[in-house]
Amino acid sequence: MTVTLPTTQELRDRARTALDRVGVTLPDGDGVRARTPITGEDLFPLRASTSADAEAAIAAAAEAFGTWRTTPAPVRGELVRVFGELLREHKSDLADLVTIEAGKIRSEALGEVQEMIDICDFAVGQSRQLYGRTIASERPGHRLAETWHPLGVVGVISAFNFPAAVWSWNTAIALVCGDTVVWKPSELTPLISLAASHLLDRAIAATGAPNDVHRLLLADRAVGEQLVDDPRVALISATGSTRMGREVGPRVAGRFGRCLLELGGNNAAIVAPSADLDLALQGIVFAAAGTAGQRCTTLRRLIVHRDVAGKLLDSLVTAYRRLPIGDPFDDTTLVGPLISANAAKRMREAIAQAQAEGGEVLAGGGLLDTGAGAYAEPAIVRMPGQTAIVREETFAPILYVLTYDTFDEAIALHNDVPQGLSSAVFTRDQQEAERFLAADGSDCGIANVNIGTSGAEIGGAFGGEKETGGGRESGSDAWRAYMRRATNTVNYSSTLTLAQNVSFL
Ligand code: NAD
């Protein structure tokens, strides 16, 4: 397959145009390199934030919290509303930067920005719905209630593969909850971080919110660790690998801070004999090969009933052979580059290990010879069982295929991995669908029927169990993680009644 790619200079110019339109001035200096996986080359050197910058950002955000927490929540919502309008206006610019830095195809990059817009809409509504409950008191003349208050400074640490959406899930909700935010994005995606943060700064200026309700730090993990260890940061919301979460979680717990962890997944789909195989095929290909396998919700394991395995695999292999791989700006491309040559190396090593464990490569697995960038052919590997490599998350497009005979066996295989993010069953058997969603079914935070594992909507809470970290973000009642709860008892009688009829004095 021959692949025509834009030059690094063309990508640099395109990034510059998008940044100019947003109004970003690049911080001159060094320490951080903006680069593109499309050609694998550097775009701009940028000044890295120092430890002193991080200290100043945390102090400023802590001070701004003093004002922001008493600003009425619907007024805080107005900031997020204006920010959402700016995101709409600059949707195409932001999507360009996502494609240039993360390598996402155009429709997925636009989809990422749409998620940012959607969470703003959601958060504006949420700003009028930070509900507490009134609870029936056992004492006459008493009111028992709970109130939700802003928490403090939220440290957001984010990953390269959703370089802007994950930050906005956290930030839009945190801001309406009355918190202030310090963001340490992935060191691989500084340009989209500068652009998104600048649009928020513009919204802050337009609405008169305190300047320091949001601060950006462009830096590597050392600055992330500074956020993690600082007691002024009330909540660390960290998205990334399980390795990162294993380091961050205990450190935040050690200072009794709060942690919201969104870590790696090893997502599976069960395909039952009654499944609509055409529908399953579409769901599987998008979930497994989309974003070049670089979503936390990417489908990595296919657990297919022995009776339909042959038919499904034939059509999957055919679909994989036709996948257009290449320039993510080309409208016909479906699979863009891996983030780095290292990611390609890890993919090759994983496939070699799978073969050593008895796996058979049915499709893909090679690297395209583009002379630039790491363009991998999404792979399908049939495995004799759930071996060691199948139980790991390799952040690349490898789909391991396992077969099953009974539904109990399928669920056991499904749950027998350390991660617990997203899951799906393709079936037309209602008993199987309900069993998959039941307490003894999928053990993941996301469990779907007749739709793939990736592509979540903003309205639902997003996150997973086990080594995925247990956090929930974005929709439903995820806002509660960004607030503290106070239980209030008010005595409006003229006698003091002790609870549980205790008498004293
Ligand atoms: P990564 O773990 O390498 O880095 C993520 C972020 O953590 C970066 O900003 C990095 O600088 C920072 N970091 C790393 N070690 C740190 C430490 N010890 N202290 C503080 N900060 C630290 O992840 P990545 O390669 O950017 O992203 C891919 C991973 O993220 C995959 O495992 C993927 O499944 C996961 N992910 C999960 C979700 C989710 O919602 N569950 C979403 C997106 C990505």
**Contact between 448 and 423 (Cβ < 8 Å):** yes
Let me know if 262 is a catalytic residue.
yes
| Pocket flag, ligand 1, residue 186 (CB < 6 Å) | yes
How much distance in Å is there from the Cα of 263 to the middle of ligand 1? 7
Question: Encoding tokens for residue 505?
Answer: 């004095």
> How far is residue 153's CA from residue 180's CA, in Å, rounded to a whole number?
5
| Pocket flag, ligand 1, residue 296 (CB < 6 Å) | yes
> Which residue numbers in the chain have pLDDT < 70?
1
pLDDT of residue 2: 72
How much distance in Å is there from the Cα of 264 to the middle of ligand 1? 8
Burial class (CB in 10 A: 0-12, 13-18, 19+), 503: exposed
pLDDT of residue 20: 98
pLDDT of residue 184: 98
Strand order through the sheet with 153-157: 214-216, 180-184, 153-157, 233-239, 258-262
| Pocket flag, ligand 1, residue 163 (CB < 6 Å) | no
Topology (CATH) of 8-149+159-227+473-486: Aldehyde Dehydrogenase; Chain A, domain 1 (3.40.605)
How much distance in Å is there from the Cα of 384 to the middle of ligand 1? 31
pLDDT of residue 3: 83
> How far is residue 404's CA from residue 304's CA, in Å, rounded to a whole number?
6
Topology (CATH) of 267-454: Aldehyde Dehydrogenase; Chain A, domain 2 (3.40.309)
**Contact between 238 and 264 (Cβ < 8 Å):** no
Q: Report the C-alpha dihedral over residues 313, 314, 319, 322, rounded to 10 degrees.
A: 130
Question: Encoding tokens for residue 87?
Answer: 């995101």
Range(s) of the chain covered by CATH 3.40.605.10: 8-149+159-227+473-486
How much distance in Å is there from the Cα of 301 to the middle of ligand 1? 21
Using the atom order of ligand 1, give the atom closest to the CA of residue 184.
9
Using the atom order of ligand 1, give the atom closest to the CA of residue 265.
34
> How far is residue 227's CA from residue 115's CA, in Å, rounded to a whole number?
26
User: Which of 108, 262, 393, 432 is an active site residue?
Assistant: 262
**Contact between 475 and 459 (Cβ < 8 Å):** yes
**Contact between 303 and 269 (Cβ < 8 Å):** yes
In this structure, the residue with its CA closest to atom 19 of ligand 1 is: 225
| Pocket flag, ligand 1, residue 330 (CB < 6 Å) | no
pLDDT of residue 1: 66
| Pocket flag, ligand 1, residue 241 (CB < 6 Å) | yes
| Interface ipTM | 0.98
> How far is residue 202's CA from residue 196's CA, in Å, rounded to a whole number?
10
Range(s) of the chain covered by CATH 3.40.309.10: 267-454
In this structure, the residue with its CA closest to atom 8 of ligand 1 is: 186
| Pocket flag, ligand 1, residue 247 (CB < 6 Å) | yes
DSSP-derived 3-state class of residue 492: coil
Distances (CA, A) of 204 to 168, 182, 207, 393: 15, 15, 5, 39
Using the atom order of ligand 1, give the atom closest to the CA of residue 162.
43
